[in-house]
């Protein structure tokens, strides 16, 4: 029996197993599972995050917040956006995290995105939009109860928060000041790819 050949074969198998395990580790999310159904893939320094679920509670985004906090300048995080909307408080938290991250952030609107989902699309540093998709903006709904003074204070604070959430959309020429004013007064606005080419938010074909 040729022990050298057997040893060589076992060594190759062992190295193959170790490389396979390392590859599997690298391909797995570097962030753990949370309560959201965000689909995550890690390929080299590129992260792909499927934003196909509604924007839920802040605690559902612990992993994403951690990723944005510790990402490096050479990392690229791409959000695939097709979203029904969600909570303004969570949106505000994500806006701040995207503003502070060192990573390069990209959003690709690949399907209809409504309300908070449309506003989220304004926050990454690079904005892209596929055909047959659109952004729908409207004035969010609130439900309040309690003392009249508390309700008035909440409404005033909500106006300030709305302006903060819409400002990046104005900065990126996705919305105009006039459109934001119309939205806050109750008008729904739908924007398609051609609209955003005309406004200069994205380059033409």
Question: Residue 113 sits in a domain of what CATH number?
Answer: 3.90.226.10
- Tokens matching residue 34: 């949370």
The structure's pTM equals 0.74
Closest listed residue to residue 104, CA positions, set 132, 124, 119: 124
In the chain, how many domains are there?
2
Is the pLDDT confidence value at 17 over 60? no
> Within a 10 A sphere around the Cβ of 155, how many other Cβ atoms?
11
pLDDT digits (tens, 9 = 90+) for 44-85: 589 999 998 889 999 989 999 999 999 999 999 999 999 999
Q: What is the dihedral of CA 78, 81, 85, 91, to 10 degrees?
A: 20
Q: What is the pLDDT of residue 156?
A: 66
Q: What is the pLDDT of residue 199?
A: 94
Question: What is the pLDDT confidence band of residue 22, given thresholds at 50, 70 and 90?
Answer: very low
Same domain, 6 and 95: no
Would residue 82 count as lying in a domain?
yes
Domain containing residue 8: 1-30
Would residue 204 count as lying in a domain?
no
Same domain, 4 and 90: no
Q: List residues bridging with 43 in a β-sheet.
A: 46
Distance from the Cα of residue 10 to its chain's centroid: 46
Average confidence score pLDDT of the chain? 80
Percent of the chain with pLDDT over 70: 71
pLDDT digits (tens, 9 = 90+) for 166-183: 999 999 999 999 999 999
Same domain, 187 and 176: yes
């Amino acid at each position: 029996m040729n022990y050298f050949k057997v040893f060589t074969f076992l060594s190759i198998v062992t190295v193959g197993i170790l490389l396979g395990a390392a590859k599997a580790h690298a391909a797995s999310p570097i962030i753990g599972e949370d309560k959201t159904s965000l689909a995550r893939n890690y390929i080299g320094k590129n992260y792909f995050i499927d934003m196909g679920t509604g924007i839920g509670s802040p605690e559902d985004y612990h992993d994403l917040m951690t990723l944005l906090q510790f990402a490096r300048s050479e990392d690229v995080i791409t959000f695939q956006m097709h979203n029904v909307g969600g909570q303004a408080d969570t949106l505000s938290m994500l806006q701040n995290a995207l503003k502070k991250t060192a990573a390069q952030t990209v959003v690709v609107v690949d399907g209809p995105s409504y309300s908070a989902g449309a506003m989220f699309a304004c926050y990454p540093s690079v904005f892209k939009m596929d055909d047959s998709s659109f952004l729908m903006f409207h004035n969010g709904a609130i439900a309040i109860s309690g003392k009249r003074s508390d309700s008035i204070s909440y409404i005033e604070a909500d106006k300030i928060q709305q302006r903060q959430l819409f400002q990046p959309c104005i900065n990126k020429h996705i919305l105009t000041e006039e459109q934001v004013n119309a939205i806050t007064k109750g008008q729904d606005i739908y924007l398609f790819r051609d609209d955003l080419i005309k406004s200069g938010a994205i380059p033409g074909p």
